[in-house]
Amino acid sequence: MATNGETKENQAGRHQEVGHKSLLQSDALYQYILETSVYPREPAPMKELREVTAKHPWNIMTTSADEGQFLNMLLKLINAKNTMEIGVYTGYSLLATALALPHDGKILAMDINRENYEIGLPIIQKAGVAHKIDFKEGPALPVLDQMIEDGKYHGTYDFIFVDADKDNYLNYHKRLIELVKVGGLIGYDNTLWNGSVVAPPDAQLRKYVRYYRDFVLELNKALAVDPRIEICQLPVGDGITLCRRIS
C-alpha cells in the first residue's frame, strides 16, 4: 500500500521483482544490482526456482535473489557444514544454502507447510543437493525443545537462518542460542520489516505489516543488548540481522 506522499507515478514505477523488499533509495539502483551482479552469477537451479516461485500467489514470501546470493557466499566464507533453516516456503534460500555446503553438509529444514516446499523439491533434487536436507513439517518450537532436552545438539550448528513467524522470533532465539556453536551465526530475516520499524504512528501500513511490526521491534531491541552475541544488521532484502555467538 502506498503512503500518502507517494504519487501515482512512483507507484507505477515500483519494482515488481519477486521477493523484492529492497530499502535502497531507488528501484533503478536495485535493478542495477540484480542485473549486474546477481542474475549473471545466479546458479541455474536457483533461477529456475525463482521463476517457478514467481507464479505462486504468496511469492512475496520468498527470499530475494540478492539475499540468496549473500547467504550463499556467507556460508562459504564461514565454511558451514551443519545448518538449520526455520521457514522454508518453496526453498529458494534453502537451495542457496544447499549449494554452498560441502557434499556431506546437512540442513535441518522446518516449515508448517510441506506443500510449498514440494514446489521447489524437484528442482532441489535435480540440482543434486536434496540429500543434504532433512525436512520436517510442523511447528519448529517443539522440535527445538526436544533437541535441547536431548542435550547432544548443544553448540553443534554452524549457521541457522530464521525466516518464519515473526511473533515467535524471540522464542526461537531463546532456544537457538543454545544450539548454535560459539563462533557460529544465526541470521534473522525481515528485521527492517518493509521499513515499518521507523514508520510514523499514522502511516498507512498493510494489516500484516502493522501486526508483526511490534514483534520485530521487540526482537531488534533484545538482540542489541544480548551479551551472548555480536550483531550486524544489514539492509539486504527486507533487513537481515546476523548474530555471532560469543558465549
Q: What is the pLDDT of residues 23-77, one digit of tens each?
A: 677 889 999 999 999 999 999 999 999 999 999 999 989 999 999 999 999 999 9
| Predicted TM-score (pTM) of this structure | 0.90
Within-domain flag for 241: yes
Query: Phi/psi at 92 (nearest 5 deg)?
Result: -65, -50
Expressed as residue numbers, the domain containing 109 is 19-245
Give the integer Cα–Cα distance in Å for 73 and 78.
9
Read off the pLDDT band of 202 (50, 70, 90): confident
- Predicted confidence at residue 6, as pLDDT, reads 39
Within-domain flag for 84: yes
Within-domain flag for 6: no
Let me know: does 68 contact 96? Beta carbons within 8 Å: yes
What is the domain-level CATH number for residue 50? 3.40.50.150
Tell how far CA 71 is from the center of its chain.
9
Within-domain flag for 9: no
Within-domain flag for 94: yes
Give the integer Cα–Cα distance in Å for 46 and 94.
10
Within-domain flag for 188: yes
Task: Report how many domains make up the chain.
Answer: 1
- pLDDT exceeds 50 at position 9: no
Let me know: does 160 contact 187? Beta carbons within 8 Å: yes
Closest CA to 85 of 76, 96, 70, 77: 96
- pLDDT exceeds 50 at position 1: no
Closest CA to 240 of 86, 71, 116, 114: 71
- Predicted confidence at residue 21, as pLDDT, reads 58
Residues 78-112 have pLDDT tens digits of 999 999 999 999 999 999 999 999 999 999 999 99
Within-domain flag for 226: yes
Within-domain flag for 10: no
3-class DSSP state of 165: coil
